[in-house]
A and B are shown apart, each in its own frame.
Chain A
Amino acid sequence: MNLRRHHLQDDRLFECYLTERSGDAIDPPTAEHLADCASCGERYTDFTRLMDRLRTDGDAEADEIFTRERLRLQQQQIARRLEHIGRPARIISFPGRLVRRTLTASATRTAPRWIAAAAAAGLFVGVALGASYEFNAFIRSARNSLVHAADASRPARLTPVATRGSSQPDVAADDAFLSDLDVALERPHTRELLAFDAFTPHVRDVRAVGRRD
């Protein structure tokens, strides 16, 4: 009776929508009012149309993106990822096996004893030879030092070569030879520059003039 006089509120309409969607029946007084009241009936129809449109639009949009093919690929991807679950972690066997093999090989193969004996003998001989060589070198150096000491204590019998027959004209000739050598070295070797060089006063000329003054 009360429902007939007052229009249904929005929340009541929404309850009706949810009830209908879940497959249940709307309570009889409300259903009767919706059937009788044109305004409420129209509002309810608009509301359900809006909600249905929202849902169908959303579903259609998602279904366009997640096509059958895409879902199949997704399923394969999930199956691939599941393959790794529940399996023990894989151990990379490459370095481990190699090391183990190397260790096993070296442990099983025992070196012959004569090799060890030969190595020890070689070492002994080497040490002995080295020691004897060093001893000989010491003896030789000691002998040389004794000879030098004896020579130094003896008086010199021969005149040194440089002092033999030395005189004043020889020294002057040597100086002239050396100065000619210097001049030859200092002179420019390029033919085109020789004229310039002739006109240019040299340091030695300037010094000679200075000395004369």
Chain B
Amino acid sequence: MSDTRTLRDADTADLDTSARAATGAHDRRSTPISEDSRVAIEIRTLVEHGSMDEARERFADLVAIHQRRASRIAYQYLRDAAEADEAVQDAFVKVFAHITSYRETWPFEVWFTRILINGCLDRRKARARRDRWFVSGEVSTADEARASGSGGGDGDPERNLLARERRARIAAAIDRLDGRQRTVFTLCHYGDCTPREISIMTGLNESTVRVHLFRAARKLRALLGGKP
């Protein structure tokens, strides 16, 4: 328990300090403004001019762009569908509430993902606090049961069972990663982020991100015995 607490604290420290480092890191970027960033700027302008209804309508486009990816990341972090759902909703609501503080020097995706991850980390902390006092609720049992019900998408029970076992093994292996490694690995593999984007989100040096990614991959390979 104390180990996991230390890892979570490390996670939070990373993301808290990332704000300072990320600005400097992003100054080096010279990529053109992405579509979602452009929409975010448009929404910010609408909110500043008091056109809230129109801003809400435009925000639905942003939600549609990032919803699936956000749900994947949140689920990999929390391993609980209901909690991941709430975390995604909270992140979007927070983004809209603070859209006036969005700056175009940051890609919207990075800004949003940071907010989402901070929310997920807070929820993990809260869950750990809860588990310290109450019996663990086996948060993913229902989700796993539902996933096993639908299986791998076909009706072969044996294949579904194997897929479920494999996923459980992968989830357990990822859960055993160091806090930073888990964050970096989740963002890279489930959030489809490049090492540079992860470096902006977390405030870590890009080469440090690569090192964490490599160590995470090596550890996963060792834990999973070379094959998932």
Chain A interface (Cβ < 8 Å from any Cβ of B): 10-11, 14-15, 18, 22, 46-47, 49-51, 53-55, 57-66, 70-71, 74-75, 77-79, 81-83, 85-87
- Given known A-B contacts A18-B195, A61-B167, A79-B60, A54 and B210 have beta carbons under 8 A apart: no
Flag whether B97 is at the interface (Cβ < 8 A). yes
Q: Which residues on the A side are within 8 Å of B81 (C-beta)?
A: 65-66
Flag whether B5 is at the interface (Cβ < 8 A). no
Flag whether B38 is at the interface (Cβ < 8 A). no
A82 touches B59 (CB 8 A): yes
* Total CB contacts across the A-B interface at under 8 A: 110
Residue-by-residue, is B177-221 near A (CB-CB < 8 Å gives 1, otherwise 0)?
A: 000000000000110001100000000000000100110011011
Q: Which residues on the A side are within 8 Å of B189 (C-beta)?
A: 51, 54-55, 58
B146 touches A65 (CB 8 A): yes
Q: Which residues on the B side are within 8 Å of A53 (C-beta)?
A: 227-228
Q: Which residues on the B side are within 8 Å of A11 (C-beta)?
A: 214
Q: Which residues on the B side are within 8 Å of A51 (C-beta)?
A: 189, 217
A64 touches B194 (CB 8 A): no
Flag whether B170 is at the interface (Cβ < 8 A). yes
Q: Which residues on the A side are within 8 Å of B227 (C-beta)?
A: 46, 49-50, 53
B217 touches A78 (CB 8 A): no
B190 touches A77 (CB 8 A): no
Show 24 A/B contacts (Cβ-Cβ < 8 Å), sorted by A. A11-B214, A50-B217, A50-B221, A54-B228, A55-B189, A57-B167, A58-B72, A62-B72, A62-B75, A64-B146, A65-B75, A66-B75, A66-B81, A66-B84, A74-B89, A77-B89, A78-B89, A78-B92, A82-B56, A82-B92, A83-B56, A85-B93, A85-B97, A86-B47
Output the least CB separation between A71 and chain B (Å).
6
- Kindly identify which residue among A14, A60, A66 contacts B68, using a CB–CB cutoff of 8 Å: A66
Q: Which of A47, A66, A75, A81 has the most CB of B within 10 A?
A: A66
Q: Which residue of A lies closest to B71 (CB)?
A: A66
Output the least CB separation between A125 and chain B (Å).
69
Output the least CB separation between B12 and chain A (Å).
23
Output the least CB separation between B203 and chain A (Å).
20
A62 touches B93 (CB 8 A): no
A82 touches B96 (CB 8 A): yes
Q: Which residues on the A side are within 8 Å of B147 (C-beta)?
A: 61, 64-65
Flag whether B166 is at the interface (Cβ < 8 A). yes
Q: Which residues on the B side are within 8 Å of A86 (C-beta)?
A: 47, 52
B60 touches A58 (CB 8 A): no
Q: Which residues on the B side are within 8 Å of A57 (C-beta)?
A: 163, 166-167, 170, 228
Flag whether B63 is at the interface (Cβ < 8 A). yes
Q: Which residues on the A side are within 8 Å of B228 (C-beta)?
A: 50, 53-54, 57
- Given known A-B contacts A54-B170, A58-B76, A65-B81, A75 and B67 have beta carbons under 8 A apart: yes
